[in-house]
Structure 1
Amino acid sequence: MGLEAKQRSDFRHFLNISTRWMDNDAYGHVNNVVYYSWFDTVVNQFLISHGVLDIENSPVIGLVIETQCNYLDSVAFPDMVTAGVSVTKLGNSSVRYEVGIFKNDATSASAQGHFVHVYVDRVHRRPTPIPDNMRALLQTIQSPSS
């Protein structure tokens, strides 16, 4: 039995991303590593654009400890993609994001997976509680079922 594709309605924040010629691999579709870049981009764009993460100065930073992706439909340049993200687990120092990649105007995901950040002190790299302003923002994209 195949994996059921998530729908756009399963996600709370979206970012439009243009594929690039260099994203295609020898098989004529976007290479798998590019999808992980899109996951990283949609999560960090959300945090940075809302002012809760300063990549150069924030005392608390998120380190990726786990990521996973299932590929359901091929994407290739010059497709446009929309990356959708929601929070499905919000712990003391960790966050699990669910991410969907939607090709052009599709309502079903072409790829989907998750991305886990553990928040650490920038200097000592030890887990630390998620700052209150970041926690409040993450709650705005938290899935109702989580």
Structure 2
Amino acid sequence: MSREPLRTRDAYPRFVPITTRWADNDMYGHANNVVYYSWFDTAVNTWLIEAGLLDLAGGNPIGLVVETGCRYAASVGFPQKLEIGVRVAKLGSSSVTYHLGVFVAGETEPAAEGHFTHVYVDSISRRPTPLPEAWRAALKTLA
């Protein structure tokens, strides 16, 4: 079975720097697989905050993660500086699927690649709600 190759650095319009921590390593000396999901969440939410979309104290709508996955190509661990590439793969009426690449700082080939889907919901009812136009416009810059 052939697999689609991982996306290189030029596929991502935005990068969020991440520094690995001692606690990220597992007993095999590399970052544990669950840590990648934390990096994905951090990268997406960092971009949303910087774009003025995510208000942690009282924002509406809020994004709930409904799907995530990761493919691994090379080990990373402590101490390393990483850059998480962020791009919007699919923009729905109330959902966004992001593609994320984990790059050792300055490298063109990813160490891992993931996807992450938010469904945006009303902060009170927790029911899906259409993305505001300002959000759609900002998210399209990552497409």
SS at match of 2:97: strand
Q: Once the two structures are aligned, what percentage of the paired residues are identical?
A: 52
Could you tell me which amino acid in structure 2 is paired with residue 107 of structure 1?
T
Structure 1, unmatched stretches of 5+, are none
Separation of aligned partners in 2, 1:104 and 1:119: 31
List structure 1 segments (4+ residues) > 6 angstroms apart after TM superposition: none
After superposition, the CA RMSD in angstroms is: 1.0
SS at match of 1:89: strand
Give the CA deviation at 1:5: 2.4
SS at match of 1:107: coil
Q: Which residue of 1 aligns with 2:51?
A: 50
Separation of aligned partners in 1, 2:107 and 2:23: 23
SS at match of 2:116: strand
Give the CA deviation at 1:3: 4.8
SS at match of 1:28: coil
Could you tell me which amino acid in structure 1 is paired with residue 72 of structure 2?
Y
Separation of aligned partners in 1, 2:4 and 2:89: 18
Deviations 1:107-134 (A, max 9, x none): 0110001000000000000000011111
Q: Which residue of 2 aligns with 1:131?
A: 132
Q: Which residue of 2 aligns with 1:92?
A: 93
Structure 2, unmatched stretches of 5+, are none
Q: Which residue of 1 aligns with 2:6?
A: 5
Q: Which residue of 1 aligns with 2:112?
A: 111
Pair 1:120-2:132 in alignment: no
Give the CA deviation at 1:2: 5.2
Whether the 8 Å CA contact 1:5–1:110 is kept in 2: the answer is no
Deviations 1:8-27 (A, max 9, x none): 10111101110011110100
Could you tell me which amino acid in structure 2 is paired with residue 91 of structure 1?
G
Report 1:12-23 matches (<5 A).
12-23=13-24
Separation of aligned partners in 1, 2:105 and 2:11: 17
**How many residues align structurally?**
142
Separation of aligned partners in 2, 1:5 and 1:128: 32
